[in-house]
Amino acid sequence: MTTVTKMRLSKETIAILKNFSAFNSNILIKPGNVLSTVSSGKNIYVEATIQEEFETEVPIWDLNKFLGVVSLFPNPDLEFGDTHVDISNGKSSVRYYYSEPSLLTVAGRKLQMPDPIITFDLDEHNLNEILKAASILQVSDLKIIGEDGILKIVVDDEKNDTSNSFSVLIDENYSGPDYEGTFNVSEIKFLPGSYKVELTNSIISRFTHQTQSICYYIAIKQG
């Protein structure tokens, strides 16, 4: 029996899928309203709750190509079948076939977040400032450092003792544990906005968007 589900994707969901493509060129959309992806290196896991409800599994090999096809039409109808999706505006249409699911890079079981030892808010202005500084200075490392009663974020190149650096003070009354964790700046490819940041005593960190239902779990190297 063939299953067909007809829907339209909201601008918010399309933006989330576009963001996902920055981490993984393919995706396995599972039944329900939760989307997830994992980077090819398996060190970044992203999860988002959307307003649409998928009733069938949708394996997409080239997510950017799929989104490009969707963009051919203004607010198109998508009919998801067992082997393909028909994308149309009533007059024109594209039949887009699914991938073999076993070829895709997908997350395994849902990631379990340990209890955080440090939690703070990172507003959009500070995040943009940090990423802009890293680009101008051409440095690759982003460090979160808690010590001596302050919590700050620093971008530099830890392999270069004379690297230029930029820092932002996050909390001048920090009372948490001494901490230093490092990310690669290139991994910080978030949707615009402010975030709640949670750091654990393992390698897992979580960045949760404060106004949208999306969060990023990123492996962090602790110093």
- Examine residue 113 and state whether it is found in any structural domain, yes or no: no
Average pLDDT for 98-114: 88
Specify whether 85 is located in the same domain as 59: yes
Residue 86 covered by a domain = yes
- The Cα 126–Cα 133 span in angstroms is 10
> What domain range includes position 129?
118-222
Question: Are 204 and 128 in the same domain?
Answer: yes
Average pLDDT, the chain: 94
Question: Structure tokens of 10?
Answer: 């909201």
- 8 Å CB contact between 22 and 68: no
Task: Based on the fold, state whether residues 62 and 92 are members of the same structural domain.
Answer: yes
Same structural domain, 158 and 90: no
Structurally, the chain folds into a number of domains equal to 2
Q: In terms of Cα–Cα distance, which of 14, 53, 47, 54 is closest to 214?
A: 47
pLDDT beyond 60 at 1: no
Mark whether 77 and 130 lie in a shared domain.
no
**Cβ contact 20:7 at 8 Å:** no
What is the mean pLDDT of the segment spanning 80-99?
A: 94
Same domain for 93 and 122?
no
| The two structure tokens encoding residue 119 | 């939690």
109 lies in a domain?
no
Contacts of 193 (CB under 8 A, 6+ apart): 124, 209, 210, 211, 212
Asked if residue 108 is part of any domain, the answer here is no
Evaluate whether residue 211 is within a structural domain: yes
Let me know if residue 89 belongs to a domain.
Answer: yes
**What is the sign of the dihedral through the CA atoms of 157, 206, 208 and 31?**
positive
82 and 167 inside one domain: no
Residue 37 lies in a domain: yes
Residue 5: its pLDDT value, please?
78
Write the CATH number for 124. Answer: 3.70.10.10
pLDDT in tens, 54-85: 999 999 999 999 999 999 999 999 999 999 99
Question: Hey, what amino acid is at 120?
Answer: F
Average pLDDT over residues 194-222: 95
Q: What is the pLDDT of residue 4?
A: 62
Q: HSE-up of 190 (CA within 13 Å, CB side)? A: 27
Whether residue 192 sits in one domain with residue 123: yes
Give the pLDDT of residue 109.
Answer: 72
Residues 81, 123 within the same domain: no
What tokens does 136 get? Answer: 């101008």
Where do runs of H (alpha helix) occur along the chain?
Answer: 11-20, 63-70, 124-137
Q: Among 76, 103, 130, where does a domain finish? A: 103
Residue after which a domain boundary falls, among 71, 103, 135: 103
**What pLDDT is recorded for position 159?**
87
Q: How many Å apart are CA 62 and CA 135, to the nearest integer?
A: 28
8-11: long-range contacts at Cβ-Cβ below 8 A with a sequence spacing of 24 or more?
A: 8/75, 8/76, 8/77, 8/78, 9/52, 9/70, 9/78, 10/50, 10/51, 10/52
98 shares its domain with 135: no
- 124-167, pLDDT tens digit by residue? 999 999 999 999 999 999 999 999 999 999 999 988 888 899 99
- Evaluate whether residue 148 is within a structural domain: yes
